[in-house]
Structure 1
Amino acid sequence: MNITQITHHDLDGYGASTVAGQFVDVARIVHVPRYSDVGPVVETELKRLGKVAVPEMILMTDLGLEAVAVTFIRNFAALNRRREPAARHKLIVLDHHASSVDQMRAQDLAPQADAEVPGLLRFDLEDPDVVVLIDETRCATRMTYEHRALYAARETGEDPILGALVTAVDAVDLWRKDRPEFRIGLSLDEVFWDNVSNLVPIGHPWHDRFVGDLLLGVARLLGDGATPAVIEGQVPALRKAILDAYLADAPDDDRSLTTRMRIARVLARSDLFHPLSDGTLMSFGLDSGTFQRVSDLIMESGRAKRVLNVQRAGTMSFRSNNETALDGARRFRGGGHKDAAGGKLTSGSAFSLADAIAQVEPVLNPPAADPALSPFGALKNWKG
């Protein structure tokens, strides 16, 4: 069964996706930084699932359920009722936010306390293929681990490394300073935020694999009793070992370069950049330092003469080697140098690459005016 995981863009969200990946092959992971972005994401998924003939599974983890997300859950169940039993999709929601309970109640979905697990609330959508669990006493990473029977295709047995990861994330995400694992959980959180976006960006096939391997590598150190200071010192070696494995057969890899430089070469030849109609290559959400290095490599290779990066907050960075960066930035109320300039999306933000493309393309490359639509064109074509 094809599985899509939609999860929060923080340590707990990535912890949940790392755990899920140990028990099942997840085809696609969608990371959502802001709960307000959940609506557009799930609405897109619902439209897609309505056109899919074979059953799929959606695993939602660590997403605070706002009204639009609860509506999605209801609509998902309604969609399933219209499908043949053998073609019904599966939805598993694992959450731990108190506000989510309020939103479920607001749409007349009453919680039912679990008889065996204290703190666990279940919500009945009258569909066995739709499971909604909310537990304020456990983080989403721990819930994904403890409720793996809902989605797992394989069982790894007791894994002390995975256990160390779950324990550390649970302590820091619930802010349990009374637990001895809290301090090492903080170090894990620091490693996560220091590496989640500045090396292998979201959208590249290696992204979740890289972050998951790094988290498990740190968890291995935690299991060995490493202190936060030892963990901090070991992170560069962990990253290098991960990258060495990924690039073991790459003909153009140069191990004398830094990790970022080596990864930049991989990104420059990837599909991470979308071609716009004028030949500009556009990326979404790249770290500024990574974009600088990758854009230069792309232009050196001749793939494009202008490269653009759009951030979720709507800021835009143009780079060129033909003095057109500033021309592009000016269309978005920006400025700068001829080959390095910046601007801002009119709407102020974007939630995905597709959303950014939809906003950028018509402004950067407006359609040519049809002469027939002008007053003079109308007179020229008039045959009265």
Structure 2
Amino acid sequence: MNATQITHNDLDGYAASTVVGAFLPVSRIVHVARYSDIGPVVDVELKRLTAARTPELLIVTDLGLEAPAVNFLKAFAAMNAKRAPEQAHRLVVLDHHASSLDQLREQGIVPLPPQAEGETLRRFDLGDPAIVLLIDEGCCATRMAFAHRALYATQEPDEAQGLDLATLVEAVDALDLWKKERPTFLGGHVLDEVFWDNVSNLVPLGHPWHDRFVGELFRGAAGFLRQGLPPARIETEVGALRARVLDRLLEGEPDDDRSLTTRMRIARILARSETLFRPLSDGTLLSFGLDSGMFQRVSDRIMESGRARRVVNVQRTGSLSFRSNDETALDGARRFRGGGHKDAAGGRLPNNGSAFSIADALSQVEPVLNPPAPDPSASPFGALKNWKG
């Protein structure tokens, strides 16, 4: 069964996807950065699942259930009700936000009675046995993914990996719940630094290696914690760990050069990626959410190779960065109320908008950068020109 995971883009969300990936091959992971993105993301997912011919599994972790997400739960159940029982999709939601309980109650969805006195886990019945909704304020989403793995697991990690996962869970749980009194709290801080130092600036979101890269860093750093290494020692070891992870990812790549820095090595691979860059009608290549430093290196290699003469990167906040080798970057930026140099310029999406995915960015940039030619028949003069009387 094809499996997709939607999760938050913080330490807990990524750690939860690392745990799920250890017990289940996940074909696609969608990381949600902002509450405002939840509605568009789940709408896209609902449309995709409605059209899917075979049953799939959707796992949602660490995603606060704001009103759009609660509406999605209802719509998912309604969609399943129209499918044959053997074609029903499965949905597993593992959340721990108190606000989610409030949103559910506001829409008439109340938890079942707890199974034990003092239990923090809340279960919900949405009238569809294929939907499991669990909310537990007493632990983080990563711990929930580990504790409730029987809901989705199809495989077991080896013993060493299992021990590292358990260490990961304890550290993330202490930090995410801000339990400073726990001895694992400091380890959570270490993992958080490893996360933010590496999550967006090297293997970018959207590349097939992204989650594998972060997950292997998590497991390796958790292994250091399990060995009892102090934070300062782990900080120095992470560089070597990252190089080992990269060596595995780039094994067999003909143009890899291990004498280069991590960013230099990865830039060579990213410049060839078909998933990170989408062509516009004029040949400009568009990327979404790339780290500024990585975009600089990758765009240069793209233009050097002749793959494109102009590249544009769209950030979630709506800012655009243009690079070119034919002095057209500034021309592009001017269409987005921007400015800069002839081959390096920037602007903003129309109406100070934002973007939540590369497809969304593409839909906003294309009509502004390459507006359709006017239809002569749309004007009175054009109509007279085409009139035969």
1:78 Cα deviation (Å)?
1.1
Identify the range of structure 1 (113-122 vs 365-374) with the bigger mean alpha-carbon deviation.
Answer: 113-122
1:290 Cα deviation (Å)?
0.2
Which residue is 1:360 aligned to?
A: 365
Q: Helix, strand or coil: the match of 1:254?
A: coil
Q: Structure 1: which amino acid aligns with 2:296?
A: Q
Which residue is 1:349 aligned to?
A: 354
Matched-pair contact (CA < 8 Å) for 1:89–1:129: yes
Which residue is 1:123 aligned to?
A: 124
Q: Equivalents in 2 of 1:270, 1:126: separation in Å?
A: 43
Matched-pair contact (CA < 8 Å) for 1:35–1:65: no
Seen in structure 2, the aligned counterparts of structure 1 residues 236 and 113 have a Cα distance that, compared at 3 Å, is farther
Which residue is 1:198 aligned to?
A: 201
Q: Does 1:84 align with 2:84?
A: yes
1:113 Cα deviation (Å)?
3.9
1:76 Cα deviation (Å)?
0.6
Identify the range of structure 1 (372-381 vs 56-65) with the bigger mean alpha-carbon deviation.
Answer: 372-381
Identity percentage of aligned residues: 68
Q: 2:191 aligns with which of 188, 193, 202?
A: 188
Q: Equivalents in 1 of 2:281, 2:385: separation in Å?
A: 30
Could you report, residue by residue, the CA deviation over 1:104-143 in whole angstroms, capped at 9, with x for unpaired residues? 1011111124315820001110111100000001100000
Which residue is 1:235 aligned to?
A: 238
Q: Helix, strand or coil: the match of 2:282?
A: coil
Return 5+ residue gaps in structure 1 as ranges. Answer: none
Q: Equivalents in 1 of 2:259, 2:52: separation in Å?
A: 47
Q: Structure 2: which amino acid aligns with 1:352?
A: S
Could you report, residue by residue, the CA deviation over 1:170-209 in whole angstroms, capped at 9, with x for unpaired residues? 0001111111111111111011011000000011000000
Q: Equivalents in 1 of 2:155, 2:245: separation in Å?
A: 24
Q: Equivalents in 2 of 1:133, 1:211: separation in Å?
A: 26
1:235 Cα deviation (Å)?
1.2
Q: 2:302 aligns with which of 298, 303, 308?
A: 298
Identify the range of structure 1 (368-377 vs 302-311) with the bigger mean alpha-carbon deviation.
Answer: 368-377
Which consecutive segments of 4 or more residues in structure 1 shift more than 6 A?
A: none
Which residue is 2:289 aligned to?
A: 285
Matched-pair contact (CA < 8 Å) for 1:61–1:95: yes
Matched-pair contact (CA < 8 Å) for 1:254–1:262: yes
Q: Structure 2: which amino acid aligns with 1:101?
A: L
Matched-pair contact (CA < 8 Å) for 1:196–1:211: yes
Q: Helix, strand or coil: the match of 2:6?
A: strand
Q: Equivalents in 2 of 1:58, 1:138: separation in Å?
A: 21
Q: Equivalents in 2 of 1:153, 1:113: separation in Å?
A: 30
Kindly report which structure 2 residues correspond to 1:31-180, keeping only aligned pairs within 5 A, or say none.
Answer: 31-116=31-116, 118-156=119-157, 159-180=162-183
Could you report, residue by residue, the CA deviation over 1:249-271 in whole angstroms, capped at 9, with x for unpaired residues? 11111011000000000000111
Q: Structure 1: which amino acid aligns with 2:324?
A: S
Q: Equivalents in 1 of 2:150, 2:9: separation in Å?
A: 24
Could you report, residue by residue, the CA deviation over 1:144-179 in whole angstroms, capped at 9, with x for unpaired residues? 000000001113376211110000000001111111
Matched-pair contact (CA < 8 Å) for 1:113–1:119: no
Could you report, residue by residue, the CA deviation over 1:54-88 in whole angstroms, capped at 9, with x for unpaired residues? 11011000000001100100111111111111110
Q: Equivalents in 2 of 1:53, 1:337: separation in Å?
A: 50
Tell me the TM-score normalized by structure 1: 0.98
Q: Does 1:208 align with 2:220?
A: no
Which residue is 1:315 aligned to?
A: 319
Q: CA RMSD in A?
A: 1.0
Q: 1:252 aligns with which of 255, 276, 290?
A: 255
